[in-house]
Amino acid sequence: MAIQLSFLLLLALLQFPTHISTYPVSDPDAVAEEVNRSIRNATDAMRDSRFHSCKTGNPIDDCWRCDPLWYKKRKHLANCAIGFGKQATGGKYGRLYVVTDSTDNPANPKPGTLRYATIQKRPLWIAFARDMVITLRAELMVSSFKTIDGRGSSVHISGGPCITIQFVSHVIIHGLHIHDCSLLDGDRGSSSDVLDALGEVLDGDGISVFGSTHVWIDHCSLSNCADGLIDVTYGSTAITVSNNYMTHHDEVMLLGHSDGFVRDKGMQVTVAFNHFGEGLIQRMPRYVQTELVVSTLWYKFNLYTGVDPSR
């Protein structure tokens, strides 16, 4: 067993150079200025109502929402991110996969289910055939070059384990309702051996980004999970978290693993246009050794701690 765990630890650490260490932006101030410039341009376009009556001043939304045929051009969304996660391509260069089956079988994922799509090795743009509630039976491990696009349907992931983005790159999560996430007794998901080797466990986050790069989380609603709503840790970088609506939770968003974890010093995360709503307590967000671009946050009700640095 010791040999097996040592091998898993080595395997996990070997993945870091591929996904992590080669991507820090040398001039983060330029990224911050680009974000601010995109917001100024979007605001100017909104004010010019003669030509842009549908504009909102949000550069992400204005990039695609004004097109009434957006659903025929879903992959254009990949061009709309801002900040450090702007280069996340998700499944832009892959086929469209439509989820038709809301069931989940981690041991034998069926074609048509969400899990079947997320474990594929090829790029995929994942959409949904209809409104659905998906109760996962194990943590949903999302592989590289995937977009999970909930636009056009009301898609809830709730009542079980939720989403983990672990040691991968180029993932986009958009438009999901993620709530009441927990761990099933005796089942910590398919990543537990690797995390055990690293001294970590899955702990019931809504979305966990762990040792990954080029990730964009946009327009999700999150509430009432066993641990964090969105945790970005273990040296993850090139991340944008935008336009999310978060309510009814204690430790909301953590950016960074711990004060003593060296790889966190390379983390670069943009947090923009997020709504921190009612029933929240702390970590909105909390960042540890992370270069952070924060723009336009809304806070409402029960605010105990907002942006919370840990140095």
Classify residue 46: in a domain, yes or no: no
Considering the chain, what is the average pLDDT of its residues? 82
Strand segments, DSSP code E, in 76-229 are 95-99, 124-128, 132-134, 140-141, 146-149, 155-158, 163-166, 169-174, 177-179, 207-210, 213-218, 221-223
Tokens at 72, concatenated: 């025929």
For residue 232, the enclosing domain spans 2-31+73-310
| Residue 13, pLDDT score | 42
Q: Is residue 283 among the annotated active site residues?
A: yes
Classify residue 44: in a domain, yes or no: no
Whole-number Å distance between alpha carbons of 96 and 283: 36
| Residue 151, pLDDT score | 98
Classify residue 157: in a domain, yes or no: yes
53, burial (CB in 10 Å: exposed 0-12, middle 13-18, buried 19+): exposed
Tell me the per-residue pLDDT of 40-69, one tens digit each, with 9 for 90 and over. Answer: 888 888 887 665 578 888 999 999 999 999
pTM as predicted: 0.84
Classify residue 68: in a domain, yes or no: no
Per the listing, tokens 């209809």 go with 130
Do the Cβ atoms of 221 and 230 come closer than 8 Å?
A: no
Classify residue 47: in a domain, yes or no: no
Q: Which is more confident, 19 or 237? A: 237
Per the listing, tokens 């996969």 go with 97
Res. 297: pLDDT tops 70: no
User: Taking the C-alpha atoms of 224, 275, 177 and 53 in order, what is their torsion angle to the nearest 10 degrees?
Assistant: 170
Here the CATH number for the domain that contains residue 232 is: 2.160.20.10
Q: Which is more confident, 296 or 256? A: 256
| Residue 184, pLDDT score | 67
Give whole-number Cα distances, 171 to 63, 125, 168, in Å: 19, 10, 8
Res. 284: pLDDT tops 80: no
Tokens at 174, concatenated: 């958009």
Res. 280: pLDDT tops 60: yes
| Helix, strand counts (H, E) of the chain | 5, 24
Do the Cβ atoms of 10 and 3 come closer than 8 Å?
A: no
- Amino acid identity for residue 76 in this structure: H
Tell me the per-residue pLDDT of 166-204, one tens digit each, with 9 for 90 and over. Answer: 999 999 999 999 999 998 654 444 444 555 444 455 678
| Residue 25, pLDDT score | 80
Catalytic entry in 130, 283, 286, 311 = 283
| Residue 80, pLDDT score | 98
Tokens at 24, concatenated: 């820090």
Res. 36: pLDDT tops 80: yes
Task: Say how many domains are in the chain.
Answer: 1
Rounded to the nearest 5°, which phi and psi values hold at 74? -55, -40
Classify residue 52: in a domain, yes or no: no
For the residues 236-253, what does the mean pLDDT come to?
A: 88
Classify residue 240: in a domain, yes or no: yes
Classify residue 42: in a domain, yes or no: no
- Judged by DSSP in three states, 159 sits in coil
